[in-house]
Every structure is written in structure tokens, then in C-alpha cells.
Amino acid sequence: MNSSLLLILYVALSALSSANGAPARAASEVNFAECKALSLKLNEMARDLYNTVESPEFSSIIDDPPVSIRPIDSCDPQSLQSNRETCQSRIILALKNYTRIFNENGVFKNSACSKWRERANKVANVTGDLLCMLKETVEPVHAPLTAVDWYDSALCWDSVERLYSFSIISARVFSFLASTEAPGFEMKQC
């Protein structure tokens, strides 16, 4: 075949493959629009828990370092455009942590937190769904989390407070990533 015939064949096949709209998403690609919807749902649930879980009557310092989004995780829009893996891996780590904390064997199974257990389990379901959307496995938690009784209410409050902060950032990240998939996206400098 000569080169002009190959070019015509290539153009024709390209036109046919894009005639049905946007290219099909590869099985390994993440659907950030769905992640955005789930992260917004997580944010609503976290806000609801934040507004209903009672803060402890005493002051307590939880000295375990939280799994949170840090500035070095590159979750700003400019960094997300060039390399989203660093931020995404940190979000995955945090989601696994919150799935463990809020699941049926997590912190909310304890007596001080048990009245919010059903809501906490729903949070764990959403964090698990987000992990699935990010192509991560959700590992079952067999060993229950334990804490000293007097520490339970402080741990519940601390977990909810951290989840709420995380949910705000993750919703922003997934909203941005979903917008970059939308047709006609253009990042403008302020």
C-alpha cells in the first residue's frame, strides 16, 4: 500500500472511532466524576457526624499522627495537572485509615460512641466505595480497634473532626480532577 492510502485509512478509522463521542474509558482508568459524587456524599456524611457527635467534656490530646493531606502531597490544582499520583496515593492511604476507623469493628463500636455506630458504618461503606472507584482493594478488618474506656469519646470526636477536614480536601481534589475530564477544560491563572 502506498503512504497516501494508509493515511486515508488511518483518518477514516480515527473518524469512526470518535464518531460516538468521547473515547471509551479504559478499564484501568479512574472515573473521577464518580469519585467526585462519592466524595461529596462523604463530605455530607462527615459534616452530619461533625454536627451531631458530642465533643468530650474533658480535654485530651490525641498524639497519634493523623493520616491527612499535607502540603508535600501535591494536591493543589497545578500539581494535580502534572502528576496526580502523589496526592491520589495519600488520599488512598487516608481512605483505608477511615474505612478501618469507621467500620463495624472500628472506634464507634465502643459504648461511648455506639449511638453513632450506624452512621459511622455508612461512612465506612462510602470510603470503601471510593477505594473501589480508585481501583484499590478494601481489606476486611478482623481485629477490632480498642481503646481505654475514658478515651473513647475523645477518640470518636477526634476521628470525626479529622474525617470532616479530609472530606473537604478530597471533595475539592476529585471535583478538580473531574473537571479536567470534562470537554473544554482550560486552567486559567488568576
Q: What is the CATH number of the domain that holds 145?
A: 1.20.1250.10
pLDDT reading at 26 higher than 60: no
Number of domains in the chain: 1
Identify which has the larger pLDDT, 47 or 113: 47
83, part of any domain: yes
3-state SS, the chain, equals CCHHHHHHHHHHHHHHHHCCCCCCCCCCCCCHHHHHHHHHHHHHHHHHHHHHCCCCCCCCCCCCCCCCCCHHHCCCHHHHHHCCHHHHHHHHHHHHHHHHHHCCCCHHHCCCCHHHHHHHHHHHHHHHHHHHHCCCCCCCCCCCCCCCHHHHHHHHHHHHHHHHHHHHHHHHHHHHHHHHHCCCCCCCCC
101 lies in some domain: yes
Tell me whether residue 144 is in a domain. yes
Residue 52, pLDDT > 80, answer yes
Is 49 inside any structural domain?
Answer: yes
Res 13 pLDDT > 60: no
189 lies in some domain:
no
Domain residues for the domain of 172 are 31-55+76-181
Q: Which pLDDT score is estimated for 140?
A: 76
Grade residue 113 by pLDDT with cuts at 50, 70 and 90: confident
